[in-house]
Amino acid sequence: MTKIVFTHGYFIHEDEKEQEIMRPYPPLGILYLSAWLEQHNFPNEVFDTTFSSKEKLYQYLEEQQPDIIPIYTNLMTKVNVIKMVQYIRSNPKLKESIVVLGGPDVTYNIEDYLNTGANIIVIGEGEQTMLEIAQTITQGNRLEFGHITGLAYRNGEGDIIKTAQRQRIRPVDALPFPNRKKIDLHQYLDAWKKRHGLNAVSISTQRGCPYTCKWCSTAVYGQSYRRRSPDKVVDELLYIKEHYNPDTVWFVDDVFTVSHKWLKAFKEEVIRRNAVIPFECITRADRMNGEVIQLLKAAGAFRVWIGAESGSQKIIDAMDRRVDVNQVRDMIQLTRKNGIEAGTFIMLGYPGETEEDIAETIHHLKVSNPDYFTITVAYPIKGTGLYDRVEALQTKELVWNTSTDRDRDFKRTYPRRFYDFAVQKVVNEVHYHKQTLEKGRFSKSAIKFKLKALKAALGMQYTKRF
């Protein structure tokens, strides 16, 4: 029997920021793959690295000596995955193991990943491709995979062969639930509970996103939209409720309210079957209105993240977000008025952004007044419209196998350090505003936020001039 061990390269003990936040989620992608193979009579194991270490992973692989080692790869885990592949290739006990890499980072870096020692790169949606790889190897063919769509590999002559694009699974109801029983999910639940008092389980209801934001990668599912039926999603909620009984659920979908028809059917089904679990999700302002907010609330939503990325319409348009900033503000406010927490995302440093645009973002956050907001400095992911726009403007050469797309920088309106100060200014100006708004007076904490904002503003001006 072919021995298969799925794994990934995320280790929480290496991630200081996540140790502070402590909101880890299990690797749903490989749990879907595991379940798909199991459904097609290919038993497999999953070594979840999140709460483990490379040493324990290596020891496990040596003990198991798998025929196939599929590894999920993204820009966060890239460097670790490369080290893992190099270890496997250098270990005599694992010399016969076939390493398969998949995930969003591999699609536009095929040759580089093959050069690290990987045998096969899965491009796009992985379930059926992975199944056909397992079938091929089980039949005794360990060298030629050109008959399988959706992958790349080196043939016997050393040439890179990239096969035709894989057709996506339709309907997605054909997918089994992620194989959560293969990992210790309670480690995640306990970590959340200890830090936050409440825990969470992640669920996916859709694949792909029909929108065209230029900074967003569509390397795995493409610019598509496929949705599991409401009754199947509720089946999974009931399964999770019975086996794990989490306090909350996180729907990982890019735009949870993209279909109002689906949302209404989901609300009715989740209530009819007594499957309501408090949840949070992500959506867009143009797919929100008063009725949608009521549907979300009735279905169990306690927090909704409404994407904005900027308070400047000029920058939103440059991103091809296709949304009006005033609509974003209105929907954040309306969500909160209806008793649901609202969060939003902000990105600074997008090409063409000026100080005036950043000031508009501060104004936007003050006016919309979300309960939560996160800020990142824009970085170009290979394969995106943003990457294509700034590729010729990159300011430094990166060593591929020791860096990620997060390390890429490009010539911006201001020096890179400027945006670190800009993040501090935005955060502290908004917190200052919240403090004075909520308390109706100046407090010590409000004054501290204001002083930090002023210090950050000085830093912005200093980096501009020097």
Please, what CATH class does the domain formed by 5-162 belong to? Answer: alpha beta
State residue 169 phi and psi, 5-degree precision. Answer: -65, 125
Could you give the angle at which helices 355-368 and 325-337 cross, rounded to 10 degrees?
20
**CB-based contact 116:168 (threshold 8 Å):** no
Superfamily of domain 198-378: Aldolase class I (3.20.20.70)
Q: Which pLDDT band holds residue 466 (cuts at 50, 70, 90)? A: confident
The tens digit of pLDDT for each residue in 286-309 reads: 999 999 999 999 999 999 999 989
**CB-based contact 384:354 (threshold 8 Å):** no
**CB-based contact 127:70 (threshold 8 Å):** no
Q: What is the average pLDDT across 130-159?
A: 97
The tens digit of pLDDT for each residue in 405-463 reads: 999 999 999 999 999 999 999 999 999 999 887 766 668 888 999 999 999 999 999 99
Predicted confidence at residue 445, as pLDDT, reads 87
Amino acid at 179: N
Say how far apart CA 37 and CA 35 lie, in whole Å.
Answer: 6
**CB-based contact 335:342 (threshold 8 Å):** yes
Predicted confidence at residue 440, as pLDDT, reads 66
Instruction: Cite the residue boundaries of each domain of the chain with CATH code 3.40.50.280.
Output: 5-162
Q: What is the average pLDDT across 241-260?
A: 97
Instruction: Cite the residue boundaries of each domain of the chain with CATH code 3.20.20.70.
Output: 198-378
The tens digit of pLDDT for each residue in 226-247 reads: 999 999 999 999 999 999 999 9
Question: For the whole model, what pTM was predicted?
Answer: 0.96
Q: Which pLDDT band holds residue 153 (cuts at 50, 70, 90)? A: very high
